[in-house]
Every structure is written in structure tokens, then in C-alpha cells.
Amino acid sequence: MSRLAIKTLAAALVLVTATASRSGLHAQQPVQSFAFGVFGDHAYKPEQEPQLENLLVDINRINRATPLAFVVNIGDLGSPKHKSCTNEFMQRRYRQFQTLEPPFIYTPGDNDWTDCHGSDVESEGSPRDRLDALRKIFFADEGSPGHSAIALTRQSQGQDKSSPFAKYRENARWDFGGITFFTLHVVGSNNGRGQDKAAHDEFNERNKANLAWLHEAFTHAATVQSRAVVIFQQANMYPEFTPFTGEGKKQTAKTPPTGYADMRQTLEAEAKEFKNPVVLVHGDSHYFRVDRPYMWRKHPDGYPVIENVTRVETFGEPYHHWVSAVADLADPNVFTFRPRIVEANRGLAK
């Protein structure tokens, strides 16, 4: 075969792969390396809306230069004190995210429904009412709600209306490039636990669904022999690492917030059994970091040492930037994470 023919064939293979990626078939393609993005906890104040727009423009700019397999928002679409608990606000956010060119996945945050209560909050109904509205706006379809769709498996799929998991359309899973990704509806403000009896009952239901979905995702990853697992949720479950949500409260590794105790214990067990790299991506504390939460130099008695778990937290208000990740199956650690500083937002944090 001539050099020209070889070059032509190589170009055709690249084109086929790119076309498959854009058509939503990319999850089935053999991929050696790829990139994805994460952002959240942004635009808590009306004057910060332009910064969110700058961030979305920046994601599209990067995507055109180096295509992103998908982008995930880890919740907190705004602030309850600035109308985030209204349908108009949620619909506006939904329309904004439609401008993103990569496939888009979203998992809820506490500001999106749990914190929609109190005399200083303009809310259209109770937190449970807001959760119902959120599901109707962002999780009405089987696919991802973005400019280009990606095939998702939802926890609600295959469930009849009497199933306790039928309502949890927001818990989604997808495979890409030999890696299993999934979302968990785990939010800040102690995971919504403790406000009142209605909140307590909702937490118990959702906690059971999350634990089941976590176990199912790891079982799936083991069955298909995934190279790694990546989890996206809003809440920071590790208050012992400052800065954290509720900083200053007397919390230790031995006494984690009760809204996260079951989730932490189950994640620890699943990660240890899985053995391959596990990444937990979250927001909530508004502090960019990449660390190993289960590798303390001097850990308290009873605190597990798990070497295959990496925790990534993206930027949050007042810093309107995002995080990109490269997954390379030839890399023993699989992932490299990079802060993406939006030039137009540099120096605007207040």
C-alpha cells in the first residue's frame, strides 16, 4: 500500500471515529484516550450571570479545539436567595445548557431543591415540589439534555410505577472508552436530612435508591471489565478535609455527617472490591482540589486506607472556572485532571 493510501485510510478512520462520536454511537467505539469536563456551583448572584455565560463559551471553545466526550454539571444552578427555586429560573438554565456543544449531563445540588425553604427564599412550593419540577425540566427524556445527546441508562428504566426506584430518573450511567461513569443524587445540606418529617422520609427513600444504584454501577463495571469508575455527585462527603461545607463544626472522620455515613461506607466497600481506579467528582465546598481522601498520613483509628480512590472537586462561586480530565487507558492511573481558568472571568471573583 502506498504512503498516500495509508494516509487516506488513516484520515478516513479518524473521520469515522469523529462521526460516530458526534452521532451518539461513541460509547461503543474503542477509544484509547479522551477528554471530558466538569463544572458547577456557579452564578449565585444576578451580577455573576455573565461569568456563567463566559464559562459555557469557554467549554465550547475548548471542545472545538480538542473534542470533549461529554460535560457534567454537578449541581447548584444558582442560589435560592436569587430565584433558583422557581420554574422560570430552571427553564432558563436548561436553555443555557442547550448551547453546550458536547453531550451534557446534570446531577442536582442542594440549591436546586433541598434548600428551597425559609423566609428569605422565593420558592414555588416545598423542596419536594421543587424536586418534582426539576425532574420534569431536566430529566424528561431518556437521553442527555444537551446540544448533542449521549445514550444513558437511568435507574428508573425498566421500573413499573410501583417500584421504589421508578422516580429516580436523575441517577444515570453510561460507558465510554472502557470506563463506567454514573451520577448519584447526593446533595449538600446534610443530603437533605433533618429539616422535617417530610425531608426525613424523602432522604430515606433517596438514600436507598442511591445505595442500590452505586452497587449496581460497580457490579456493571466489574461485569464489563471497566478500566475505571467515575462518580459524579454534588455533595462533599469529606468534612474532615478543610475547607469544607460547614467549616468550624466539630466533625471528624469517626463521626461523618449522618446524611452521608451510609454512602461513604458503601463506596469504601465497593472501591476496595473493584480495585481499579475510582474517581469521585463533586462540588459543594467551592474549592478546586484533587486528592486521595483515603490515604491519610496519620489517619484516625478505624478510618480505611483505600489507595485506588481519587477525589476531584471543581471550582465554585465566586470562581467561575471548570475542570477538564483526560482519560488514557495506557496510563496506569488512567486520569489526569486540569483546572481550566476562563480568561474572561479572571480577576472577577468577589
- On average, the pLDDT of the chain sits at 87
Residue 141 included in any domain: yes
Q: pLDDT digits over 40-84, tens only?
A: 999 999 999 999 999 999 999 999 999 999 999 999 999 999 989
Residue 317 is predicted with a pLDDT of: 96
Q: pLDDT digits over 285-295, tens only?
A: 999 999 999 98
Residue 25 included in any domain: no
Residue 293 included in any domain: yes
Lowest mean pLDDT among 5-19, 96-110, 274-288: 5-19
Quote the percentage of the chain above a pLDDT of 90. Answer: 70
Nearest to 144 by CA among 103, 92, 177: 103
How far is it, in rounded angstroms, from Cα 181 to Cα 232? 8
Residue 74 included in any domain: yes
Residue 12 included in any domain: no
Residue 178 is predicted with a pLDDT of: 95
Tell me the average pLDDT across 296-300. 66
Q: Which residue has the higher pLDDT, 308 or 151?
A: 308
Q: Which residue has the higher pLDDT, 148 or 222?
A: 222
Residue 8 included in any domain: no
Do residues 42 and 316 make contact, with C-beta atoms less than 8 angstroms apart? yes
Q: How confident is the model at residue 300 (pLDDT cuts 50, 70, 90)?
A: low
Structure-block grid coordinates of residue 262: 451510609
Q: How confident is the model at residue 245 (pLDDT cuts 50, 70, 90)?
A: low
Q: How confident is the model at residue 27 (pLDDT cuts 50, 70, 90)?
A: very low
Q: How many domains does the chain have?
A: 1
Residue 324 included in any domain: yes
Q: How confident is the model at residue 140 (pLDDT cuts 50, 70, 90)?
A: confident
Residue 246 is predicted with a pLDDT of: 53
Q: Where are the alpha helices (DSSP H) in the chain?
A: 3-22, 49-65, 87-97, 127-138, 188-191, 197-223, 261-274
Q: Which residue has the higher pLDDT, 42 or 31?
A: 42
Residue 22 included in any domain: no
pLDDT tops 60 at residue 193 = yes
Residue-range definition of the domain harbouring residue 281? 33-345
Domain holding 323: CATH number? Answer: 3.60.21.10
Burial class (CB in 10 A: 0-12, 13-18, 19+), 246: middle
Which residues sit opposite 3 in a β-bridge?
Answer: none
